[in-house]
Structure 1
Amino acid sequence: MTSSGPGQDSREPPAQAAASVALPQAEASPSAGDFERLRELLLGDERRELLAARARIAELERAQQALPQRLPGALESLADEASTARVANALAEPVSQALGAAVQRNRQSLIDVLFPIIGPLIRKSIAEALRNLVADLNGAIESSFTPRGIKWRIEAWRAGVPYAQVVLKHRLAYAIDHVFLIERESGLVLHHEAAPGLPELDKDAIAGMLTALGDFVGDSVGRDAGGTLESVRVGEHLVWMLHGPRANLACFIRGVPPPALHGLLEQRLEEIHARLAAAPDDDPRTPENQIAWHDALQPPALVQEAGNAEQAEPRTSPSRLPLFLILLVLAAGLFAFALSRERWNTRVEALRGRLQAHPGFVLGAIEAKPWRRVVVHGLLDPDAAPLAPLLDAAGFGGVEPVVDAAGYLSTEDAVIERRAQRLLQPPASVRVAVEKGVLSLSGSAPQAWLDTTAQRAGWIAGVARVESALTPEVDAVAAARAELERLTKALPAMRIEFVDDAAPADGTANAVDAIAREVRRAVELGKVAGVRVGLTCVGTNTHVGSEQTNQRLRAERAQWLALALAARGVAGADGGALAVEGDGGLDLRAAFVRLSVGD
């Protein structure tokens, strides 16, 4: 044992010390061959079994890796039908369960794959349904007026049912080809019934397709919004889908089924769920349940029971209330049309009367097409008063009357007076009047105008004689003021009478012309006298009715007179519109002009 140097631990570990002491006394270690013989004696059999197991595992792994390459060849080697059927039967249940699980886990992926197929299928179904509907309607129309159609109408009348229902009953038969009972969660077929003589179908494929189609509709529309597949057209078959908590019922129908069949299928589905609810843990595929499903879903029995239910339904006579309402609406429409036509004719006749009484206009005819156009034909003197106020007051709504008039020369006093005013251009101090063809001139005027008038007055068309009381002007301002004072008192007495609201009495055109002449004279006299002349159209009413109504009537009558004077060229102060106001103190249905003179 060596001594430790300075700063080192002089103690050795016990195991090291023991080894250092024992080594000089131990014998030589056994050889490698002895150990191998000992291992062979103790573990030889286990080692050989382990090596064999490893060899078998390696062989199985190699076979498993080569299985995808060998499987197609193995399936192709199934030449006989018995072997093929055996493989199909062995794979049927696993494939069905795998398809159901795949539908539950990857619905969206399945919907994406089936979308290009479902779209054309739905369009084809809609087109087929429309073609069938058109064919049914054509058949019903073609049979309406034939002996058979008349017979069917009598049958519909006796049974109290719509004619279309009788047509469908006789022309369209139906048959149930297949009925599928499908588990709601997995989409697997619980039971299938078919009509006799039909070929076998791939039940699982059809059930999976209907389940996928229903899931597609539900996911697209939304289940919360009631998006469930109720029916679909597949070729010549109409497929009804009835949904239940545990199972759905799919019925393949040819033709047009009666409404009673749907109720019968719902009843059968309720009976199936009642049986399942009685034994919650019972397998729907047990022989007892299969027998029950067979008894409940036989297509011939369903057709027979649906026909019996259809015949047993009570025939109630159709309600006559819709027909009564339709007749009432038609009667109301005819009454409204007749009333509107009568109002239109009344307006046309009222316009006819006003036009016939209008001086300087000879009415030929009124071409009135209700609510479309009104054309007035006749003869119109250029010096006659405008027809626009009469046409505007006719009240044809949105229809604007049109005047188609030829010129002529009128000999009526009012027209002759307007012609004399136009040709003579009298000053404001001269008053012009015509009565029975006699032209009366009064007042004072400059000597030059008097000389010209004496030569021209007798040549005015329609004037038979001229009576002149004209005097030369001495003091024009004083004469004008005097005449204005006279007009201030005379104009309120020249009233326009009204028969109803704002409708003037017949023959008011002459009175309006007279007022217009006096108002124009007053304006001219104001210029001569150097004073400001104010004109106000005043409307009055009788002391009957409410104040609000009377106030409206006064305003309308005053406005009517203002518009009539404006149509004859009379303007208010500074060329603007005439002022209007109402006077409730007079018990008259009239309108007049109030003249005010200021400095």
Structure 2
Amino acid sequence: MSPQSFKWRLEALQTGKSFAEVVLLRTLLYRVEQVFLIHKKTGLLLQHVVAPNVAAQDADLVSAMLTAIRDFVQDSFSVQTGDSLETLQFGELTIWIEPGPQAILAGIIRGTAPKELKLVFQEIIEKIHLKYDQKFNSFEGDTAPFEGSTLYLEDCFQAQYQPKKTKPSPVIWILLSSILIALGSWFFFDFTDKQRWAAYLEKLNAQPGMTVVTSEKRQGKYFISGLRDPLAADPIQIMKKSNINPKTVISRWEPYLSFYPKFTETRAKDLLQPPVTVSLIVDESGILHAKGSAPYQWIVETRKLVRAIPGINKFDENNLVEMELKELERSKNEIEKQLLLFTEGRTQLQPGQEARIQNLIKEVQKLTNTAPYLSKNIQIKILGHANKIGSEERNLILSQGRANAILATLVSQGIKKTNLSAVGVGTGETVDKKRPQDRALSRSVSFKVILTDTPSREINRR
């Protein structure tokens, strides 16, 4: 029978509303009366829920109206990319719009709602996106897959009324403060936890040979799945460095081979087992570069094996030298340095040439034995020389005789005659260009070694 009660009864008679309804409206601070879930791209209504005792209009019509208003604002005014419609005011009704990546949550609120309600809307739209992410991506107009989302939408039905004007008990203040502190702590730790998790996902995706496919949080635990190369970093170690408890994360990593150059290089080294004199490097184009010196047999095997290594498109051996070929070149140079001296006018060696002969035989045998192993043809020219004493014809015969004498000596030591040829050049070629007049040097035999590849070696290189 208070004046306020009498005023409300009079209002009920004038408006035709019940007294209880008037009391409800006049003590109401705010109430969420309807909630819409709208597909962001098409503007189609996915689900719609209405609070009890609330008269609702055509939900599809309301959804179309909201979409039209949003499109009108974006098309008619200069708005920044990413900006969206947040609120609409119609008298005592307010429409709160909470956008998500794939859908929009719109709530019709009577009265003035607190900002905290925004957090509720945000949390619910996040839950809906986590739950129906794949269904959003495959949406083609059928709203049936989203029927279960009404359970989330009904959580938006919150309301608040004016409390009775009674002096609150200190216990209530303590309890309220405790709740606020608890809520604040929960929001803080939840936000911090989400930040740590986002940073962890970013670190994982930045790792070579690792790709995150899905990640979500359910019942207090994180679930993550993806692809990981066996040579990639350990996700558990990254997790510990990100201050995330491994017990709260359930991971599933499918193995795959990454073509990251460092990983391909490691696999190549494990398979090819290069000698310490060889360095292997894989570039961004998938080319394996080999540099240094290696046995011929290792090079031949590598040419075959490298084709089976994933991620390698080509084998570059331009800077790779065969060890045996080095030795072959050394023997060649050693033979070509030899100079056997003869007595004046004769085909007999001067005394004291035995050591040179033995060294020559040794190097020639080494050369002829190694060359076939390296698929090389060997031809050794034995060049006989004479000084200018006597006629040119006699000197030519004399130089040929000296070359023949050395040829016979080498053949007698088991060296194949097919690898040798004796040529008398008379006085036509100077043995030592620095001392062309030295007669002793002109009475001599010198050597020229010719190395050529066999057809099989050419095929192997190709």
Give the number of the structure whose alpha-carbon radius of gyration is greater: 1
Higher helix share: 1
* TM, length-normalised to structure 1: 0.24
Higher relative contact order (CA 8 A, sep 6+): 2
* TM, length-normalised to structure 2: 0.31
